Structure 1
Amino acid sequence: MAKAPVAGGYYPPVGFHFKVEFVGIGNDNDIRFQSVAGLTVEYDTESFKEGGENRFEHKLPLRTKYPDLSLKRGMLTDSKVIKWCLDALQNREFKPAQINVILLNEEHQPLKTWNVYNAWPKKWSVSDLNAQDNSIVIETLELSYNYFTVN
């Protein structure tokens, strides 16, 4: 099927076609998530006041900081990722992992990959259970990590 021409020849990728790989941990179901949040990097800064310059302060970059990674999905009853998470949260067996968040195109080929290093589970939560709602149970993983690279 031919694609319709797009003004400027470029059409931005969609944000709903992605997978999350837990290197060496997950199974086929563990790549499916509803949402990924926290792929952000920013610099801490230090202000420097220059003598005689009253119009502004210099801001100098110090170190980068990365917020926690938040992953949401419908709860799985047989998940190696949740076993890895619970080993850390219940047994204090922390085994940092590499996680790859991969944005896919319409042919399911990688467009962009975020390689998240030394991730470990900080929090696991399950949505409220309510007999009056007709909704699936959502589990949320919050992971701390050192840094990520983008390919």
Structure 2
Amino acid sequence: MTNSLFPAFRFEAKLRRSPQIVAGSDVRQDANALPSGELLGDGAFQECTGLQVEMDVREYQEGGRNDGVIRQVGRAKYTNIVLRRGMFYDRDGQVNDELWRWLQDIVSGRPVARYDGIIEVRNRDATVVATWVFDRGLPARISGPQLNAKTGEIAIEELHIAHEGLRLVRV
């Protein structure tokens, strides 16, 4: 028996080139804006984690106040986005190797390209039920599959993306 309250979800990810930052400019985007730069790739994954923001909370002890401390918000910290068991593919449905080239360019010391990401949560009938956007991502780690001739898997086992901002977008 399947429970319709908890439908199966799948996650699709898109990476689009981030705009160049010019000194003194404001890089924050409209809260509902989707990235529109050059597409690095589309992908589908079985699992996505790291949709998390943690706030530093600073405590100040105020003189004469003995019943507690004053708490103020500090900086936000973003957890790496982790996409598991999936693949990026091109418009023809073939494996897209641009992600590996992006990582290799960084390792070899070429200028670092940043990519904004869109993660769409889709239900069984492919309707988008939530859209998360992250800003200025960098590949922090990528793991390929353990090759096994019996399974024929060629997917990305795990992709970690460090980024500079995360928001839930209403589309």
Question: Is TM (by shorter chain) over 0.5?
Answer: yes
Would you say 1:59 and 2:71 are equivalent positions? yes
Which residue does 1:47 correspond to in 2?
Answer: 59
Judged with a 3 Å threshold, the aligned counterparts in structure 2 of structure 1 residues 60 and 149 are, in CA distance, closer, same or farther, namely same
Would you say 1:112 and 2:130 are equivalent positions? yes
Which residue does 1:32 correspond to in 2?
Answer: 44
**Which of residues 92, 98, 115 is equivalent to 2:116?**
98
**Which of residues 73, 88, 98 is equivalent to 2:85?**
73
Judged with a 3 Å threshold, the aligned counterparts in structure 2 of structure 1 residues 110 and 42 are, in CA distance, closer, same or farther, namely same
Q: How does 1:15-30 map to 2 (within 5 A)?
A: 16-23=9-16, 24-26=39-41, 30=42
Deviation of the 1:55 alpha carbon:
3.2
Q: Return the letter of the residue paired with 1:20.
A: A
Deviation of the 1:78 alpha carbon:
4.2
Deviation of the 1:62 alpha carbon:
1.1
Deviation of the 1:31 alpha carbon:
1.1
Deviation of the 1:75 alpha carbon:
6.5
**Are the aligned partners of 1:49 and 1:57 in contact in 2 as well (CA < 8 Å)?**
yes
Among all aligned residue pairs of Structure 1 and Structure 2, give the percentage whose two residues are the same amino acid. Answer: 27
Aligned residues: 138
Would you say 1:146 and 2:139 are equivalent positions? no
CA distance in 2, matches of 1:22, 1:113: 13
Structure 1 gaps, min length 5: none
TM-score if structure 2 supplies the norm length? 0.66
Tell me the C-alpha RMSD between the 2 structures.
3.0
TM-score if structure 1 supplies the norm length? 0.73
Task: Give every structure 1 segment of 4 or more consecutive aligned residues whose post-TM-superposition deviation is greater than 6 Å.
Answer: none
SS in 2 for 1:31: strand
